[in-house]
Amino acid sequence: MQYYTQFSLKEYNTFGIDVNAKKFVSVQSLSELKEVLAHQKEVFLLGGGSNMLLTKDVDKTVVHLNLKGITVNHQTEKFVEVTAMAGENWHEFVLWCINQNYGGLENLSLIPGNVGTCPIQNIGAYGFEVKDTIVCLEALNLETLELERFSNTECEFGYRNSIFKTWAKNKYAIVSVTFRLTTKNHQTNISYGAIQTQLEGKLNPTLKEISNAVIAIRNSKLPNPKEIGNSGSFFKNPVISVEKFQQLQQKYPDVPSYTVSEKLVKVPAGWLIETAGFKGKSFGKAGVHNKQALVLVNYGTANGMEILNIATTIQKKIKELFGVELEIEVNIF
Ligand code: EPU
């Protein structure tokens, strides 16, 4: 294992923020991870770097979790259980599953990041959340250096949430995730409007066709982090009370919404941000994406604080105009 000092993290975060790690090491196996953790006092765990905004140099040892491998555990007539190591690239893993004709992850095609980070914020898109396929995961307890197994229920998944964003945050390194996927009679979900449009009414699309439709939609709306730095949705879609929503509707009859429960409604943050006039707006070296207002972008040389300041400006304006709190979805460091 090679340790580097004053190591630039620019290539290791999809926002492309150029900050330095005091120390940096990439681990390829569980034993390497244990060895590093046994000797380093303060660590900063790094997966695909796709859901974080770095606002300062990291005065810790950055441990890049680069464990690879995919194992098929067992297969019944209709299902298969597959374990993927944390460092597997998410989209490549999804494509591998589709090529094996394993169904369940196709709606989550092209999401940046790695397998090991997908459970943390319970990635979701186009009517589907990853929690619906996760059986369990294994995570190394950073204090005891023991491997612990968390069942799906124990992860307490919610909308862009899990215990790894609450009490278990910074206490574990997720090393592998086990998924339950279908091998026949795939229960595909193509109800999302944009997917239907993209599939042009096709009734029984294959996994590959659904994946291609999702890829086309994402490419048309979301900036490619390889071309322009970003971290996907910067905010969560706010969940508000029905009463609050009705007040909003009186003033803005076109406000879109999704029912969460009898008392709660989710409003697209992208709509609030666009209606407030921020869509496509530039603030010097960073700004708001012109095709999806929920995404903040780094035009190339912005620093993390500049992006965080834009987020704060947006939050203030949304509160002022609509009385709604926008919660940041990406992890800020
Ligand atoms: N909208 C606007 N203006 C915009 C963007 C959105 O008015 O600039 C409104 C429109 O009414 C649109 C609705 O918001 O119909 C929903 O937009 P979209 O389908 O793009 O989805 P979203 O709610 O903005 C969520 C996820 C995305 C995911 C999409 C598709 C969150 C925080 N974001 O966005 O996830 O790809 O749904 O399912 O829930 C991510 O987490 O990084 C991410 C990209």
Atom of ligand 1 nearest to the CA of 221: 20
Q: Check if CATH label 3.30.43.10 holds for domain 4-65.
A: yes
Q: Check if CATH label 3.40.250.10 holds for domain 70-221.
A: no
- Ligand 1 centroid to Cα of residue 169, in Å, is 26
| Nearest residue to 54 via CA among 16, 26, 27 | 16
For 202-253, how does the pLDDT look when each residue is reduced to its tens digit (9 = 90+)?
889 999 999 999 999 999 999 999 999 999 999 999 999 999 999 999 999 9
- Ligand 1 centroid to Cα of residue 270, in Å, is 6
Candidate from 271, 291, 314 with most ligand 1 atoms within 8 A of CB, to mutate: 271
- Ligand 1 centroid to Cα of residue 294, in Å, is 7
256 lines ligand 1 (CB under 6 A): yes
For 96-130, how does the pLDDT look when each residue is reduced to its tens digit (9 = 90+)?
999 999 999 999 999 999 999 999 999 999 989 99
Strand partners, 25: 63
234 lines ligand 1 (CB under 6 A): no
CATH 3.30.465.10-classified regions of the chain? 70-221
CATH 3.90.78.10-classified regions of the chain? 229-332
CATH topology of domain 229-332: 3.90.78
CA–CA dist 269, 282 (Å, integer): 18
- Ligand 1 centroid to Cα of residue 268, in Å, is 6
Question: Angle, to 10 degrees, between the axis of helix 90-99 and the axis of helix 207-221?
Answer: 150
Atom of ligand 1 nearest to the CA of 222: 44
329 lines ligand 1 (CB under 6 A): yes
CA–CA dist 222, 203 (Å, integer): 26
Whole-model pTM: value is 0.96
pLDDT of residue 289: 98
